[in-house]
Amino acid sequence: MTLPKYFSGSSKTDPKPVHHSATALLSALLSVAEHDIIPKMRQGVADGNQAFAAAVLSQGDLAPVTVSVNKAVESPLLHGETSCIRDFFADPDHPPSRECIFLSTHEPCSLCLSGITWTGFQVVYFMFTYEDSRDLFGVGRDIDILEEVFRVKAPGDDEESLKGRALYNKKNRFFAAKSMWELLDEVEGEEERKKWRTEVDRVRELYREFMISTP
């Protein structure tokens, strides 16, 4: 059996490093979030979908390849990420997934983490954490499902130690996932970090219209 091209090396090698500076990555990711994702998300929400979206960027020039939003009205499986994956592979001329960067507006849920893994995307960034999704957008199922379905007690675990364990491995042999805040930590120089922290805050603020509460 011949596996699809997106499986090439995805299960046997560590994720390829991205050869861009943290500032170049932040600039590209925030630009796509502001100018490509938000307008589509606004329409998606108006159609009755949740405020989640994703994009695929070329790892070479950091240009957007695919931008999609949550389409749960069509199917409960079409989260922002799975919708984006479907649209990406619908293009017969799509680049190999291992040569792309996956941007999720919100930390991917268990369904979307699996989709990203199976389709060979090796580099993932997100803007809002699970806690943000729960507290600001009213969606706490991501944490609930990971805790109830996937988190299994190891020998010697009690309830306290169980809760202290990570919900998933952000860096594994399939992909490496980072939040915008973790990417900010890689910016060199305190003044430069401060400048980009302000920019991350500004773009996050643009999502306020989709939030159920304010920080």
CA distance 39 to 26: 19
What's the pLDDT tens digit per position in 156-186?
Answer: 888 888 888 899 999 999 999 999 999 999 9
**171 lies in a domain?**
no
Phi/psi of residue 157, nearest 5 degrees: -70, 140
Model's pTM, two decimal places?
Answer: 0.90
What's the pLDDT tens digit per position in 1-55?
Answer: 344 454 444 445 566 667 899 999 999 999 999 999 999 999 999 999 999 999 9
How is the beta sheet containing 100-106 ordered, strand by strand? 64-69, 53-58, 100-106, 123-128, 176-179
**54 lies in a domain?**
yes
If you average pLDDT over residues 48-74, what whole number do you get? Answer: 97
Q: How confident is the model at residue 215 (pLDDT cuts 50, 70, 90)?
A: very low
Domain range for 140: 16-153+177-210
75: CATH: 3.40.140.10
**128 lies in a domain?**
yes
Q: How many domains does the chain have?
A: 1
Q: CA of 91: how far to CAs of 6, 66, 85, 95, in Å?
A: 14, 9, 10, 9
What's the pLDDT tens digit per position in 89-133?
Answer: 999 999 999 999 999 999 999 999 999 999 999 999 999 999 999
Q: How confident is the model at residue 212 (pLDDT cuts 50, 70, 90)?
A: confident
Single out the residue of 188, 176, 196 nearest to residue 18, CA to CA. 176
Q: Do residues 10 and 174 make contact, with C-beta atoms less than 8 angstroms apart? A: yes
**159 lies in a domain?**
no
